[in-house]
Amino acid sequence: MFSFFWVLMGGASLAVSQTSDQSESWCYDWGESSEAVSVLEGEVCWLSCPLFSHPSVYNYTSTQSAGHALFWYRLPHGHALEEPLLLSSRLSKDRERLWLQPAEVMDGGNYICMLRNKSSCSKISIRLTVTRRDNVVVHGDRCQLPVAVATTKAIIPLQVSDTLECPDLQEAAKMSDVGPPNVTWYQRCRRYPFGNSDRQQQGTSLRFHTMVASYQGLYVCTINYSRNGRTLSFTRSINVTAVYPPWVPKEPSILFPALEHVSIVRAGSEVRLLCRGLFPFILRKPLKDMWWTVDGKMLEHLTDHHRFSHTVSEVHEDFGDLTLESVLLVQDFLSADLSREFNCSVRNDRGFETRRVQLQEEVLLPSVELGCILGVTLLLMFSLFIIYHVFWLEILLIYRSWFGTDETHTDHKDYDVYISYVRNSEEENFVLFTLRRVLENELRYSVCIFDRDSLPGGTITDETLSFVSRSRRLLVVLSGDYGCRGSQALLELQAGIDSMARVGNLRVILIQYRQTPRNWPPLRELRRARLALVLIRWKGAESEQLTSRFWKRLRVELPVRRGGAMRKADQLDSENQLSLKETSEQKSLVTTSGEREHEHECSLIQS
């Protein structure tokens, strides 16, 4: 009880000072009260002597009967000496109160009330702040309530009807000398009535027929009354909040951990166990209890209680329903703690719930070792990837030389390679002096070149078809003026593509000796062929070495040339599958025979 006064004294000196009154008695100075009053200029207010805030210490009725008198003094801002008050109809005393009807700006300052009889005296001061009206901004949507207006709180359950009364209406009624006071209600700076008739002013009070969430907020009421022919007023505000109605379940519940939830903990470290409880709103029943037990014992009753501590904090509020979170902190979690029963419990006036926190030890992976293995694996994979990309031709050639099938033993063909090219072009030199030489002399393939190998006197067409069908590969050396100049070259290409599509034992390989013009090739057939067939580019001097990419790629495409024994039929199968697949792709190239004939005409005309 007395603590209030110790708080009051705060930093103020305990010294017993002599009052400015001529009295010789000493007076206990309680310093300045924390119950400061603030008022808007021109409004009514009153100061209650704070000595009577605790009636068991100072009871107004009993002090009067003990011969005490109550005096008021004023200590204006910046003044050292208190001055007696001149009481008037504006400034009047009523029991333990000093009324200002209304307050003026110059009234601001400290007021001292002194309680004294012949042998004892005590005094306390209280601060009054008067806010100038022109410092107050209240307009439009940026509506702002002056801080000088005292605010109270009201709680109205959703879907319930309730009534708001303007605070301190009784005080105004006591002071009014002409009839009862009048009340004006405002919400968001809008004067009553508010939109619909759901909220209705009945006399001085405001009736909510059905509370909804959107009716929450600050309500302001101004009380008018008459006294001595003057209209006096003061303003109060009420912060209205909605809560869940009384008919929804009010038992507390544990939101976390869920029934099936398992917390992973690491032995040897500090472990935080979380519990979240929901406490539904209950009017005037504020009991909310949340605690932890270990093996059914409260934390403070544990032999090792120094290892445990817990905190509770509010995390969420929803129409009065509070969500509280409690964290149990366990220092140096032991493996033995895993088998202990950690329970979180919640309780209010309506119920109780408890839940055990399921614990499981974290499976520790040797992270460093794991990281190393992973790193090495990734590095290895990366290196292989790089090696494959740089040396894939070499790898393919080595693979073929070991496991490839020598087709020359199984197909009854006479030539490995038939070279098709445009006569009298730059490519002709390349074919005769480079391609042929290397293929025949260095790589030891049997090469067929029509102009060299055909016997004079035969039909060109028949002989071409025969040569092409007797070859394993058709090398088509592309040329800028392929289709429309050399009908022989075109014939060879068509024979090759036909044979590839029909029989499937011939492969067509395109070789590009020079960079071809942009809209090249002119033949639709060739254009399609280029998309589906292998194209190997000659890169000038760079390709002259037998170890260059050009020759390696060509060797990969050509039949396996190997001195060793022939492999068995199982490898043959895989090669067959390959050529079958290609065949089906290439079939689609030659189905449109109509176009082909049309283009054939072109070359015939040319020749």
Residue 548 interacting with ligand NAG (CB under 6 A): no
- Shortest distance, CB of residue 13 to ligand NAG, whole angstroms? 22
Query: If binding is defined by CB under 6 A, does position 239 make contact with ligand NAG?
Result: yes
Distance CA 492, CA 478 (A): 12
Please pick, from the candidates 33, 110, 187, 343, the single residue that binds ligand NAG as defined by CB under 6 A.
Answer: 343
Residue 360 within binding range of ligand NAG, rule CB under 6 A: no
Shorter beta-carbon distance to ligand NAG: residue 225 or 551 = 225
Question: In this structure, are residues 279 and 348 in contact, taking their beta carbons and an 8 Å threshold?
Answer: yes
Out of 117, 152, 161, 574, name the contact with ligand NAG by CB under 6 A: 117
Q: Is the Cβ of residue 166 or residue 475 nearer to ligand NAG in the bound state?
A: 166
Helices in 29-143 by DSSP H: which ranges?
A: 60-65
Minimum distance between the CB of residue 367 and ligand NAG, rounded to whole angstroms? 34
Report, in Å, the least distance between residue 48 CB and ligand NAG. Answer: 13
Q: Give the nearer residue to ligand NAG in terms of CB position, either 120 or 548.
A: 120
Strand, helix or coil for residue 513? coil
CA angle 179, 185, 190 (to 5 degrees): 145
Q: Does residue number 552 form part of the binding site for ligand NAG (CB under 6 A)?
A: no
Residues facing 316 on adjacent strands? 323
From 177-185, 409-417, 418-426, 534-542, span contacting ligand NAG (CB under 6 A): 177-185
Q: Is 341 in the site for ligand NAG (CB under 6 A)?
A: yes
Q: How far is the CB of 239 from ligand NAG (least distance, A)?
A: 4
List phi, psi (to 5°) of 88.
-150, -170
Question: What residues are paired with 290 via a beta bridge?
Answer: 346
Which positions are annotated as active-site residues? 492
Q: How far is 80 from 76, CA to CA, in rounded Å?
A: 8
**Residue 218 in contact with ligand NAG, rule: CB under 6 A:** yes
The crossing angle, in degrees rounded to 10, of helices 367-403 and 549-557 is: 70
Q: Is 401 helix (H, G, I), strand (E, B) or coil?
A: helix
Contact of 253 with 346, CB cutoff 8 Å: yes
Chain mean position to CA 60: 62
Q: Which two tokens stand for residue 400?
A: 């073929």
Which range of residues in 114-122, 373-381, 510-518, 547-555 is near ligand NAG by CB under 6 A? 114-122
Alpha helices in 25-86 (DSSP H): 60-65
Determine if 59 is a binding residue for ligand NAG (CB under 6 A).
yes
Residue 153: CB minimum distance to ligand NAG, A: 6
Under rule CB under 6 A, residue 182 binds ligand NAG: yes
H helices, E strands: number in the chain: 14, 32
Cβ proximity to ligand NAG, 239 vs 323, nearer residue = 239
Residues 6+ apart with CB under 8 A from 39: 45, 100, 103, 128, 129, 130, 131, 148, 234
Site string for ligand NAG, 284-303 (x = CB under 6 A): ---------x--x-------
Under rule CB under 6 A, residue 119 binds ligand NAG: yes
Binding residues vs ligand NAG (CB under 6 A): 55, 59, 61-62, 66-67, 117-120, 179, 181-182, 184, 218, 224-226, 231, 233, 239, 241, 293, 296, 341, 343, 354-356
